[in-house]
Structure 1
Amino acid sequence: MARFIGIDTSCYTTSVAVYDSQQGLVAEERTVLKVKQGHRGLSQSEMVYQHVRNLPELFHKIGNEIHSISGIGVSAFPRRRADSYMPAFLVGKGAGEMLSQTLHVPLYLFSHQENHAMAAMRNRPEIWNIPFYMMHLSGGTQDVLSVTWEAENMHFKNVMTSMDITAGQLIDRVGVALGLPFPAGKHVEVLAKGADNPCQFPVARVKNAFSFSGVETTVQKCIREGNQSSENVAAGVLQAIGRALKKELLSYPFESGRTMIAVGGVMSNTYLRHIVMEIGRKKGLTVLFADPVYSSDNASGNAFGAFMRYSHEKGNSQ
């Protein structure tokens, strides 16, 4: 038996996890960073401060599962490694380095984006080292990527990205304007279920890209005018995102037969998951989601990734 620790200190969540080579994920704890009511984010210094406070508490919670550790996986970069530096991730990277040196076990560095991909791959480990597509929709990211492998490392090629704000930013900004807590994703989803006549917000068409700034302008005007219920506004925003996904993804020449991993906080939304499943069927793609609770930021992917890297390295050395 071998166990692997995962750590992720992202822009809005501190996370740790433990993956067991025989039992799978045996522990996962996270704390969403605190954002003041009415605010739409945190500075990097505020993120670092909260991560430093949160990590010891999370390790205390999973303490009984930390034994027989063979490796550690940590998010050391935000997205592709060329993007490099973001202070929030240095907190987790530093903790991983200390544990690695203390326990005399290997440390595997991943990007936050790889962590998201691997959180879904836990359900289908057989696609490790096989090319796939990835759609990462969150508060800070709106990417569709073609992913290939080289020596156990993922290589990302942009297929589509955001021209302005992301779907996650749109949801969060609208949620805050409606008086909901930040991050607002789960609150907007609950609110939208009460809609009786969802608003129809126009969506811009941009080839091989997404644009939501125009949608936000229209929605914010609608909220200020106060002529629509919060429920209908929330549902209209989610439907607008769904239409944008259909417009762009259905027109792109994806390679049929590949897996499409769809992750990020936005992909925990039930309505949008159905939209992506429909797109996958029409494009001949096998859509793979992380379980909804592991679609948003968490460290389970890094723990699983450390297990996979360690297993392949051990196998190659024999």
Structure 2
Amino acid sequence: MISKNKIILGIDTSCYTTSIAAINLDKEIIINEKRMLKVKHGNRGLRQSDAFFQHTNNLGDMFGDLKSKIKDYDIVGVCVSSRPRPIEGSYMPVFSCGYKFAKTISSVLNTKLYQTSHQECHVEAAFYDTNIDKDRFLCIHMSGGTTEILLINRKLYGYDIEIVGATKDISAGQLIDRVGVKLGYEFPCGEYLDQNALKCDVDVHNLKISSKEGYMNFSGVENQIFSIVDNYSKEYVSKVILNSILDSIYKSIIFLSDKYNIKDVLFVGGVSSSKYISSKLINKLSNNKINAFFTKSSFAKDNAIGSGIIGVNRFLSEV
């Protein structure tokens, strides 16, 4: 009962989502709250300064709303995603907003303050929600700003992460949003294109993809799709673009799976929440005896659950 009443607050301030979670020491999710940042119609993103301002407002409002929900719990620590990746020099202004808020909360409450990265937060949340149960696996991080293939070795209280594949230009999420805005959808556009692709029951032609030894280019796909976007339905275009992404990822996984002798692949990030992409990749990879692990949408998209769980692990290691 004592562990159930003690919680770690997790905080994550990504490019487009403000997230706060509360996890008890039994790793049960007590709170999982998120607010999308607002992007003006027709825009394909936010400047970091605008995102920082919205995060500041969101964090104050969200924590005020959550106080009554966690009044019966003892906050023993705060864990925040303070940088994009777990590598030296990794920095993005939006994450400093979350860090400053977390530092203030921990100081006022006189609790432990732990730091992690946005990427580790994604991995931990997805690992928590799946039954992958492996200490070594490939992880595909597909989001609005990132498309990377990671070789992950799980440690007692974290991960060793090596980038073994990635896009050399725009990310899968950027490609989806650029096409989606062109089609007239609100940013972010992933859910619209996913629904369209699922409704498209006709065979579509394949675009030329660029994928070699785990590394991909999507700008060529973007140019090809923009040359035909006015000639086909939104459903058709959506299916074509998602096919191009999943075919590129599939080709990269096949190469890297063979290179590193790994048959387990975990998918994280907002793009991996696509039902169309997940269903197709699960089948294609299964045919190659590769196990694909997709998490629920709420765990795949930006969230603070991973930060909270990492904080719990760190706290317990010190007890």
Counterpart in the other structure of 1:144: 149
Amino acid at match of 2:23: Y
Q: Is the partner of 2:251 in helix, strand or coil?
A: helix
Which residue of 6, 16, 29 corresponds with 2:10?
Answer: 6
* Letter matched to residue 18 of structure 2: T
Percent identical residues: 33
* Deviation per residue, 1:42-87 (Å, 9 max, x gap): 1110010100011112213322333211221110001233242211
- The SS at the match of 1:192 is helix
TM-superposed CA distance for 1:14, in Å, is 0.6
Q: 2:291, 2:198 → 1: CA distance?
A: 28
Report the Cα distance in structure 1 between the residues aligned to 2:28 and 2:103, rounded to whole angstroms: 23
Counterparts of 1:1-318 in structure 2, within 5 Å, are: 1=3, 2-22=6-26, 24-66=28-70, 67-123=73-129, 127=133, 130-149=135-154, 152-197=157-202, 198-223=204-229, 226-252=230-256, 253-256=258-261, 259-278=264-283, 280-282=285-287, 284-314=289-319
Q: Secondary structure at the match of 1:261?
A: strand
Structure 1 residues 247-256 or 34-43, which shifts more? 247-256
Change (3 A) 1:288 1:246: closer
Q: Once structures 1 and 2 are overlaid, which stretch shifts more, 192-201 or 25-34?
A: 192-201
Q: Distance in 2 between matches of 1:265 and 1:304?
A: 19
* Pair 214,23 (structure 1): closer, same or farther in 2 beyond 3 Å: closer
- 1:173–1:258 distance in 2 versus 1, CA, 3 Å: same
Is the CA contact (8 Å cut-off) linking 1:3 and 1:69 kept in structure 2?
A: yes
Residue identity opposite 1:45 in structure 2: S
Shift of 1:282: 4.8
SS at match of 1:56: helix
User: Are the aligned partners of 1:254 and 1:283 in contact in 2 as well (CA < 8 Å)?
Assistant: no
SS of alignment partner, residue 55 of structure 2: helix
Separation in structure 1 between the aligned mates of residue 24 and residue 148 of structure 2, nearest angstrom? 31
Once the two structures are superposed, residues 151-204 of structure 1 have per-residue CA deviations (whole angstroms, 9 ceiling, x without a partner) of: 734222111011111111110100000000111111111122232433532212
Shift of 1:127: 4.7
Normalising by structure 2, what TM-score? 0.90
The RMSD of aligned alpha carbons is 2.1
Give distance in 2, aligned partners of 1:4 and 1:41. Answer: 31
Distance 2:301 2:262 in 1: 26
Give the secondary structure class of the aligned counterpart of 2:138. strand
Contact 1:249–1:279 (8 Å) recurs in 2: no
| Preserved CA contact (<8 Å) 2:132 2:266 | no
Q: Residue deviations 1:6-35, cap 9 Å, x none?
A: 100000111101112347112111111111
**Alpha carbons 1:199, 1:232 under 8 Å: kept:** no
**Per-residue deviation at 1:89?**
0.3
| Gaps in structure 2 of 5+ consecutive residues | none
* Counterpart secondary structure, 2:255: coil
Is residue 137–residue 262 contact of structure 2 (8 Å, CA) maintained in 1? Answer: no
Report the more deviating stretch, 277-286 or 234-243: 277-286
C-alpha deviation, 1:122, in angstroms: 1.6
Q: Is the contact made by 2:8 and 2:22 (CA closer than 8 Å) also made in structure 1?
A: yes
Report if the CA contact (8 A) 2:180-2:193 is conserved: yes
Structure 1 unmatched runs, 5+: none
